[in-house]
Amino acid sequence: MKVLAAVDKFRGTATAAQVATAIGHACWQLGHDCIERPLADGGEGTLDALGGPNRSTTVDGPLGKPVQAAWRLHRGTAIIEMALASGLLLAGGRQKNNPIDATTTGTGQLIDAALNLGASRIIVCLGGSATTDGGLGAVQAIGSRARLKGVDFVVACDVTTPFVDAAKVFAPQKGASNAQVNFLTTRLQRLVQVYSDEYGVDVSTIAGAGAAGGLAGGLAALGARLVPGFDLVAEEVLLDELLVETDFIITGEGFMDSESFNGKVVGSMAELAADKNLHISAICGDIHAEVKNRLDAVSLVEKFGREAAMSQPLHCIEHAALQILRDRAAR
């Protein structure tokens, strides 16, 4: 068989590339060809899926402390993952984050650096943010909107949250109290008017503008296009061409639940497989009971136990892939 390993990361245990390689090893043992294709949905891990970083720039972190942020510039295309400049992990997680002061300035500084180096296309990947500043820090760091004239400016996101709802939906995950959520919501409401007055863009009407605490809306005010993250990645890696050569797909992610079928890698690959009339199976760290019947899938926790799934994920993934491939060949 010609197998396509089209997988997302297993958050906290394995990168998408490592997962794809483990599946590739299983294919090799059984004599199958395998195309290893790490994927992402526009959030964390998208930079790696699109080639990985080849540059590093010192920028202001989410709480103002300088950080070294990795990014990519290749043939005029810059790829910036906002989590590496303004991410929650950089702020010390929700316990140490300051939801009111957390800023996207560093992400804007990376965009500014890309413009300084002549980038003609800029892709900003959202997800994992510490911020609910409506993108104001990034907008101020970029400066004049004229700098983006002639640049294909794209924001990859996987939510449809409205701009003003960003605090209510996301800020509690970033450590915000109820009182802070109310304050942040009021601040976002004011920013709607600011962006309308300054740039003539009503960010309150743009689906997904609330992504990354409103960073998507702030960048949209500067002229960025918001696009579904998985679709962008699929186009960049020529996924349709890979599917032409594929007999069987193995996809996967760390945890499969209902959200997996809402613009994420596993659900999107399942849709593509159905469209192309291809068989597909998934390997997941764990699977929520409510979606167990939606896709043929192996749970590493169920098959190997939680301790092994967490401490030896690649070993477990390889053995799960062997089982899937043997079952497929026997049908």
Domains of the chain, CATH where assigned? 2-39+240-330 (3.40.50.10350), 46-230 (3.90.1510.10)
Single pTM value for the model: 0.91
Per-residue pLDDT at 144 exceeds 90: no
Average pLDDT over residues 161-180: 97
How is residue 251 written in tokens?
Answer: 């996809």
Tokens of 104: 């996207």
**pLDDT tens-digit series, residues 65-105:** 999 999 999 999 999 999 999 999 999 999 999 999 999 99
Amino acid identity at 182: N
Percentage, residues of the chain above pLDDT 70 = 100
pLDDT 10s digits, 96-117:
999 999 999 999 999 999 999 9
State the pLDDT confidence band at 162, using cuts at 50, 70 and 90: very high
pLDDT average, residue stretch 191-215? 97
Confidence of residue 325 (pLDDT cuts 50, 70, 90): very high
